[in-house]
Structure 1
Amino acid sequence: MFIFLYGVDNFRSLEKLSDLKNKYLEKNGSGTDLSVLDYGEGASVENLSTAFSAQGLFSTKRLVIVKNSMLKGSTEVQKGILTLLKANPDTEKDADTIVIFYENGSPKKNGALYKFLFKAAKRQEFTPLEGTALANWALTFAKTLSTEISFTKNALNMLLAATGSDLNVLSNEINKLVNYKNSGEIVDADVVLLVKSKVDSTMFETIEALASGNKSKALDLFHQQLTKGEDVFYILSMYTYQIRTLLKIGDFYWQGMISAPQIAQASGIHPYVVQKSLSQIRNLSEQKTKQMLRDLAEIDFSAKTGKVDPVLALDTFIVSL
């Protein structure tokens, strides 16, 4: 029996491979009839031929794992493997011989070996998760680390915008967050602290320009971020985070509390952040700050539902202030 695992999302494909291997070992504990051939480490066609012909001493079932024969194997190696498979047609239907072809990425779909396995094998392609599927994966993964951990909606959005769909990166960042928080709710500030070690100074400058009414500077800084390769949804989430922080500090400032240390103690926000934010708050009213937050929430919803282009919407947001 042939199984073909491949795709850009090598985190999940490797998980699937490990799962299949572990299930085999649970039923065939000796592992003597398990062969792993990695064509990124010099495996040959002869190695595969030997694995096919080996007789099991302790088990009637054999598992052969063939890694990266297409991504790393030469054209001649791929031809040799294909010739071997065609010369052993019974292997395809032999339930006692399981051959897993694993590719750590997406091989060329016009290759002869790929075309053969696409038709002959039980196959699964692992494409990058997006949208709700990615968010659900992140939440589920976090729960495997701690059942007492949760995310606020915006903290999760910030995290996903910062990591994208690379589950290797995302899993590492979730591990950091869970180890830091241990239990309870992961909030915006946790993501800012750990996923981005510090808020990008350009982000802060943009909000400062917005607060002072310098629209041209804010627009220029926004497009600098895009040019640097920042994800527009990450930028949006950081704007939302910073405006929300201004509003929390402003709640005390607009009621007459103007001392940065006092506001820091009352709000639980770091004194440095409070001190830096006060100069912006002096240029903003409570009404305008709340409206900015509502506008950003509307952009986030409309962009994620495909109603608006997020870059154009943020351009309009900046110009309209």
Structure 2
Amino acid sequence: MGSVLTNFLFLAPDEFLLGKRLSQLKQAIGDLEMASLNIAELDGARSDASDILYHAGALPFLADRRLIIVREYFSNLESRLGTAKSPNRAAQDEARQILEALADPGLSNDLVFIDDKLDKRRAIWRGLDGLAGLDRLSKDGLLVIEELGTPNPRALPAWIANTARQDGIDIAGQAVQMLATYVGADLRRLTLELDKLRSYAAGRSITPDDVQRLVSDTSDALIWDLTDAIGQRDGRKAMRALYALRRNDASPFYLLTMITRQYRIMIKVKDETSRGPGNEYDIAGRVGESPFPVKKAMAQSRNYGLPQLEGILDRLLSSDFAMKTGADPNTEIDILVAELTQSR
């Protein structure tokens, strides 16, 4: 890293983006065989300012600098500071110690703090007793603050396009949109899919047809996760699947449409299997659906009798009517999932 002081604060990091960023910093130390000897990783919940500064003051081994990585230190310190009416003096002394150290351009090694969330109204951010807080340290060039959060659904296509551009991958705009829809905000998988598509395209621009041919649509799989959980009467698992779909920007009307589709397939499969046995390929041909959803429906429909499935379909239709006549769509979906996962 040379002789230039570089301290970092990575906020709300996405696991993939954080791993990539830390890899860059570790590689910058120099010889990979020596890197592990010059990297210390600390748990911020178990480390105080003295521990951190002890490691920050240690001499590097056959390198210019050491790298000290501290996870969830500031968020833990922030929670210990107390309030203006009942301050925690020991925590305030510790905050002064770490802020003074970060303000010292003579600090001999590089510090990387990783925190999920910090309150920008608190003293750690704004400053304490005349000492510069994290915000001022950043503005003074003594701390680099980087937001490494997962891109939201609207920003995801731009992230894909930028990543492709940086890696020299030519991809059509429609293909970018399709990739974002199919994969969602799983950045590691998106990167792997881009690399796979580049190999397949072999120098030409990646097209929507390429994405459709090579990339599976995770939104469909997530819907089956939701209906799996509903079939198992597992409310917690169902809500996790529901929130995963919402993180992929799935609208309530889309969710209701897809849940209804899955139950319609289950009814068709349940009815057809009662007429005669067969594997998913046989049944798929008889009901006019693809083998993958039919295989899922064959497993899920065992949790229901045909009258139950028809009753659920009626409940889905009443949710559709409620959402179209003034009920809050998200609340209606939440109530629907809660009702469907009740044991009966």
**TM-score, with structure 2 as normaliser:** 0.48
CA distance in 1, matches of 2:269, 2:38: 70
- Show the counterpart of 1:76: 93
Q: Which residue of 1 aligns with 2:165?
A: none
User: Which residue number corresponds to residue 147 of structure 2?
Assistant: 125
| 1:33-48 paired onto structure 2 within 5 Å | 33-45=38-50, 47-48=52-53
Match runs of 1:13-92 below 5 Å: 14-27=18-31, 29-31=33-35, 32-45=37-50, 47-48=52-53, 51-52=56-57, 54-73=58-77, 74-86=91-103, 88-91=104-107
* Residues in 2 aligned to 1:116 and 1:12: alpha-carbon distance in whole angstroms: 28
Report the CA distance between 1:236 and its aligned residue: 4.7
User: What letter matches 1:125 in structure 2?
Assistant: E
- CA-to-aligned-CA distance 1:222-281 (integer Å, 9 cap, x gap): xxx99x995595765553234324555788999x99836479633242446568585589
Secondary structure of the structure 2 residue equivalent to 1:51: helix
Q: Which amino acid in 2 is paired with 1:117?
A: L
Partners of 1:309 and 1:240 lie apart in 2 by 16
Given residue 100 of structure 1, which amino acid in structure 2 is its aligned partner? L
C-alpha distance in 1, partners of 2:99/2:309? 68
Letter in 2 for 1:244: R
For 1:138, the equivalent position in structure 2 comes to 185
- Give the 3-state SS of the residue equivalent to 2:119 in structure 1: coil
Distance across 2 between alignment mates of 1:282 and 1:56? 70
Distance verdict in 2 for CA 1:30–1:130, change over 3 Å: same
- AA matched with 1:126: L
Distance verdict in 2 for CA 1:271–1:90, change over 3 Å: closer
Secondary structure (helix, strand or coil) at the match of 2:15 reads: helix
Instruction: Summarize the Cα distance change of 1:241–1:262 in structure 2 as closer, same or farther, 3 Å threshold.
Output: farther
Sort the Cα spacing of 1:60 and 1:50 in 2 relative to 1 into closer, same or farther, 3 A: same
CA change 1:202–1:70 in 2 (3 A) is same
Distance 1:17 1:41, change over 3 A: farther
In 1, Cα distance between equivalents of 2:41 and 2:219: 44
Shift of 1:80: 0.8
SS in 1 for 2:76: coil
1:79 to partner: Cα distance? 0.8
Displacement of 1:200 in angstroms is 1.1
Out of 180, 190, 200, the position equivalent to 2:230 is: 200
C-alpha distance after superposition, 1:162-220 (max 9, x if no partner): xxxxxxxxxxxxxxxxxxxxx86356664355x448241599xxxxxxxxxxxxxxxxx
Partner of 1:266: 283
Q: Shift of residue 105 of structure 1? A: 1.4
Alignment of 1:114 onto 2:134: yes
Identity, in percent, stands at 16
- Distance of aligned partners of 1:12 and 1:242 in 2 relative to their CA distance in 1, 3 Å threshold: closer
Question: Per-residue CA shift, 1:109-146, capped at 9, x if unaligned?
Answer: 23224234332322202345321445466354225567
Using a 3 Å threshold, how does the CA distance of structure 1 residues 58 and 240 change in structure 2: closer, same or farther?
same
Are the equivalent residues in 2 in contact too, given 1:107–1:114 (CA < 8 A)? no
2:266 touches 2:298 (CA, 8 Å); kept in 1?
A: no
* Distance in 2 separating the partners of 1:17 and 1:139: 17
Structure 2 gap ranges (5+): 78-90, 128-132, 157-179, 198-213, 285-290, 312-316, 335-344
* Distance 1:272-1:103 versus aligned 2 partners, 3 A rule: closer
Cα distance per residue 1:290-312 (max 9 Å; x no partner): xx8xx99xx9xxxxxxxx97448
**AA partner of residue 92 (structure 2):** T
In structure 2, relative to structure 1, the CA distance for the partners of 1:39 and 1:21 (3 Å cut) is same
Rounded Cα–Cα distance in structure 1 between residues aligned with 2:55 and 2:273: 79
- Please show how residues 166-181 of structure 1 align to structure 2 within 5 Å: none
List runs of 5+ in structure 1 lacking aligned partners: 92-96, 150-182, 204-224, 284-291, 300-307, 316-321
